[in-house]
Amino acid sequence: MRYTIFGESHGPAIGVVLEGVPSGVILDMDFIRAELKRRAPGQNALSTARKEADEPEILSGVFEGRTTGTPLCAVIRNTDTRSKDYAQLQNLPRPSHADYAGSVRYKGYNDYRGGGHFSGRLTAPLVFAGALAKLILKEKGIEIAAHISILGGVEDPAPEQMEELIMAAKNDCDSVGGAIACTVSGIAPGFGAPDFGCNAEGIFSQYLFAVPAVKGVAFGAGFGFSCMRGSEANDPFYMDDKTVKTRSNCAGGINGGITNGMPITFEVAIRPTPSIGQEQDTVDLSSGKDAKLSIKGRHDPCIVQRALPVIEAAAALASCELIGI
């Protein structure tokens, strides 16, 4: 299964094409809509005011409610676009956004409105793809669950703490970063390989780094390994009835690039959204001079909570690749 996401934030539509989908999967649209809603903006004061129905239209690959096995294209129309908010940005790249790098990459021809193809909005079709992947995995007993492990420096924050942190940042015209921990349970031992392009960590990381704002990926004890000794880091084996298990899971379910039957656990670092209301230093690409920028428009003071279903989606697609779907 291979996905390709297309679309621009302020273009006619965004969407995804999935190739290699197994045939016969019941397309549970209630589940898919629920997943999309977890990501959708405009749900409360903590996220952007942009409202989008995010109702996917299936153009192909589904017949009588089931996947056909041929390429599946789903499209989500853009409706609530306010392109003029972004007109000023064409020559004033927003710090830590892709505006400048993208304009070099695409020689100035990319659609700059609302971040264009770089917009977080493009994660909607990713969540669609991930929801389909979850439906496939569920039949095989594989489940995926993510939670916020850090928000604004606070580990395992309670909901009210998160709300406070986000509202405080919003009031300061600022944003906050965090980290998301995710567990994939139910994958049998023996998937992956040590080799380039085949190892389990590499496969997961490629899907996870394709999510905007992800800047770090670590498995099991992750960067905690740098403070550990082997005697703490090693996961002793034991027999649980007839199954080989490990007492700890510092390795995050992966040894030598291959699953060992324990849950795959990983954490991703989510950078604070770079769209902040404070005045920032930038450059004017038309004049080649330093400039000041105050970003208008609608944005999230924190995307970590909205990123949860996106990280799960990426993990679901990675799991499919890992187990050969």
Q: Which of 137, 179, 264, 307 binds a copy of itself (CB under 8 A)?
A: 179
Q: Count Cα neighbours of 75 within 13 Å in the Cβ-side half-sphere.
A: 10
> Is 269 among the residues that bind a copy of itself (CB under 8 A)?
yes
**CB 50, min distance to a copy of itself, A:** 18
Q: For the segment 16-45, give every residue that binds a copy of itself (CB under 8 A).
A: 17, 19, 23-24
Cβ atoms of residues 200 and 322 within 8 Å: yes
Q: Total binding residues for a copy of itself by CB under 8 A?
A: 140
Q: For the segment 186-245, give every residue that binds a copy of itself (CB under 8 A).
A: 189-197, 199, 201-202, 205-207, 209-210, 212, 214-239, 242, 244
Nearer to a copy of itself, 34 or 60 (CB): 60
**CB 232, min distance to a copy of itself, A:** 8
The letter for the amino acid at 103 is: S
**CB 10, min distance to a copy of itself, A:** 9
Nearer to a copy of itself, 159 or 289 (CB): 289
> Is 95 among the residues that bind a copy of itself (CB under 8 A)?
yes
Q: In whole angstroms, give the CA distance from residue 270 to residue 180.
A: 7
Nearer to a copy of itself, 34 or 237 (CB): 237
Could you please report the per-residue DSSP string of 112-172?
Answer: -GGGGGGSGGGHHHHHHHHHHHHHHHHTTT-EEEEEEEEETTEES--HHHHHHHHHHHHHT
Read off the tokens for 31: 């589940």
Q: Which of 145, 161, 172, 294 binds a copy of itself (CB under 8 A)?
A: 172
Q: For the segment 98-157, give every residue that binds a copy of itself (CB under 8 A).
A: 98-102, 104-111, 116-118, 122, 150-153
Contact residues for 234 (Cβ-Cβ < 8 A; gap 6+): 250
Nearer to a copy of itself, 40 or 302 (CB): 302
Q: Which stretch binds a copy of itself (CB under 8 A): 34-42, 44-52, 131-139, 288-296?
A: 288-296
Nearer to a copy of itself, 40 or 76 (CB): 76
Q: Kindly give the pairing relationship between strand 72-77 and strand 57-58.
A: antiparallel
Nearer to a copy of itself, 212 or 309 (CB): 212
> Is 183 among the residues that bind a copy of itself (CB under 8 A)?
no
Q: In whole angstroms, give the CA distance from residue 29 to residue 6.
A: 21
> Is 73 among the residues that bind a copy of itself (CB under 8 A)?
yes
> Is 260 among the residues that bind a copy of itself (CB under 8 A)?
yes
Contact residues for 19 (Cβ-Cβ < 8 A; gap 6+): 1, 2, 3, 4, 71
Mapped onto helix, strand or coil, the DSSP state of residue 250 is: coil
**CB 282, min distance to a copy of itself, A:** 5
Cα–Cα–Cα angle for 282, 175, 280, rounded to 5 degrees: 15
Q: In whole angstroms, give the CA distance from residue 271 to residue 217.
A: 12
> Is 55 among the residues that bind a copy of itself (CB under 8 A)?
no
64: alpha, beta or left? (left if phi > 0; alpha if psi -120 to 50): left
Q: Count Cα neighbours of 264 within 13 Å in the Cβ-side half-sphere.
A: 32
Q: Which of 252, 306, 308, 320 binds a copy of itself (CB under 8 A)?
A: 252
**CB 65, min distance to a copy of itself, A:** 10
**CB 5, min distance to a copy of itself, A:** 7
> Is 160 among the residues that bind a copy of itself (CB under 8 A)?
no
Tokens 């007993």: give the residue: 141
